[in-house]
Structure 1
Amino acid sequence: MTDPTTELPLVILDALMPTSQRQVLNRRGSSVWEAKGDRGRHAVKLGYPILATEEHPAQEWIAKAPAREAYVLNWLREERTLYGEWELGTWNVQPWHEGPDLWELWKPCRVEGSTVEPKLDVALSCAEALADLHVKGWAHGDVQPAHFIVGRRGVQLIDLALAHGQPVIEAFDFPFRGCLVHYEAPEISRSVLAEGTAVPTPEADVYALGAAFFISATGTRAVAYPDDAPRPVQRQAVVDGPHRPVTVPGAFGELIGEMLRPRPADRPTIGEVCKALDY
């Protein structure tokens, strides 16, 4: 049986015939690879179920995530994203996006004593990428700094497996159970605590983008909770609030504060965020 943490399945090797491959990410339930060859440079995602442990229940749904993401990408783009099933779950193959992510790019801002300020043209490009998704009828559901790749051709918004807004093929769909809590809006955390699931919305994406700007510029999470706190404790901290004071200076800091408002209706729309950054 193929081990997704150490090798690519034969079905993908046959499809791409890569001359080189390297694993760039391995986390519970998924792995990401860079594959190069005569057919170009690609990102390959493998999904597989998470087995139950004493600390965590089993999560079989995550094995469907690559195929679900491919379905969303194919809805959004003219270029087809390849996907399929393998012995443990699903996979997809999509173009490789070269460049640093938002967290990496704003590292100089986080150096102690630094006077470097966040680049607002980058913030605008991130907001515009998210706005484009919203215009097309989708909420991302998993906005975080690592999902904005800043390349020569602008910002690419990646990792769309949790996006909601349009119908998704039933065979690869699954309920939204929240995302990385650092970027969860209070209403998302509240729903996950109460019901076990939530519904991603553009308003929650705006909150998440504000939290992504906050942590990328300062190195500190928007909401305080212990690093080793269980997920329910983290989510309750988000629900209870308030968020930390925004220390980013000037109008950008004021905008982040507006994006982090606890009530969805009080936050700016992503269009208003773009307008505020476009000066």
Structure 2
Amino acid sequence: MQQLSPGGVSYGEWEHGTWNVQPWHQGDSLYDLWHPHRAEEGSSEPDLGEAFSCAEAVAALHTTGWAHGDIQPAHLIIGEKGTALIDLALAHGGDIPTAYDFRYRGCLVHYESPEISRSVLDDGTATPTMEADVYALGASLFISATGLRHVAYPDDASRKDQRQAIADGPHRPVNVPGVLGKVIEAMLSHDPADRPTSHEVCRELSGGR
């Protein structure tokens, strides 16, 4: 058994192929935790502290030189001991033995960035990046706060059509109030170079501290 940084991921091989084991974190997903804000009678704004904790978890991973590659609300677990970013199966950044280094063919499409969707459409594969992680975090915050995917397409759209809609843009209007809405708007910039870094997102959500 070997261990892969970050996150205490252990991996190895058995008779049926490869395996990996990751730590268990107790808590609620971002999407479940923010359910009250999506209710028709809901009026309170999502908690900036909870949004900050999610951004902080992503920034901590980025500090190690890794991109997650599959950020979505279900992978942001908020509990009594803080917020954990789980499921590092598609993480990219450090040295990975060839036997465990599988081609990245995108993630859950609802949270893909335009450049990832475009690359998968064109080449069938892509490379996870920190900029794409920021976009995915913005899309995760948006759907958790509003119940809407960041880009509109039919519920029965194929993955190809979903990716085409994301690659072509634009995203839905960000109708989340306050600081959070402004930050999400910046995170969903179509051009990766125009997005804030995960650390800049943390600063904005923490009031510049």
Whether these two folds match at TM > 0.5 is yes
2:105 aligned with 1:181, yes or no?
A: no
Give, as a single letter, the amino acid of the residue that structure 2 aligns with 1:269.
T
C-alpha displacement at 1:228, in angstroms?
Answer: 1.1
Whole-angstrom CA distance in 2 between matches of 1:217 and 1:164: 28
Identity of aligned residues (%): 63
C-alpha displacement at 1:177, in angstroms?
Answer: 0.4
2:141 to 190, 204, 213: 213
The superposition leaves residues 141-167 of structure 1 with CA deviations (integer Å, 9 ceiling, x where unpaired) of: 000000011111110110011111112
2:163 to 211, 216, 235: 235
Matches within 5 A, 1:138-157: 138-157=66-85
**SS at the partner of 2:157?**
coil
Give, as a single letter, the amino acid of the residue that structure 2 aligns with 1:75.
S
Whole-angstrom CA distance in 2 between matches of 1:270 and 1:92: 26
Matches within 5 A, 1:101-180: 101-180=29-108
Matches within 5 A, 1:191-202: 191-202=119-130
Whole-angstrom CA distance in 2 between matches of 1:92 and 1:268: 32
1:265 to 176, 193, 203: 193
Higher-Rg structure is: 1
Whole-angstrom CA distance in 2 between matches of 1:181 and 1:188: 9
C-alpha displacement at 1:89, in angstroms?
Answer: 3.4
Change (3 A) 1:240 1:172: same
Tell me which residue corresponds to 1:75: 5
TM-score for the superposition, normalised by structure 1: 0.71
Tell me which residue corresponds to 1:89: 17
Higher relative contact order (CA 8 A, sep 6+): 2
C-alpha displacement at 1:264, in angstroms?
Answer: 0.4
TM-score for the superposition, normalised by structure 2: 0.94
**SS at the partner of 2:5?**
helix
CA RMSD of aligned residues (A): 1.6
**SS at the partner of 1:155?**
strand
**SS at the partner of 1:228?**
coil
The superposition leaves residues 68-115 of structure 1 with CA deviations (integer Å, 9 ceiling, x where unpaired) of: xx75xx3225x5x54333443333334321110101100111111211
2:99 aligned with 1:203, yes or no?
A: no
**SS at the partner of 1:109?**
helix
Where do 5+ consecutive residues of structure 1 fail to align? 1-66
Where do 5+ consecutive residues of structure 2 fail to align? none
Tell me which residue corresponds to 1:248: 176
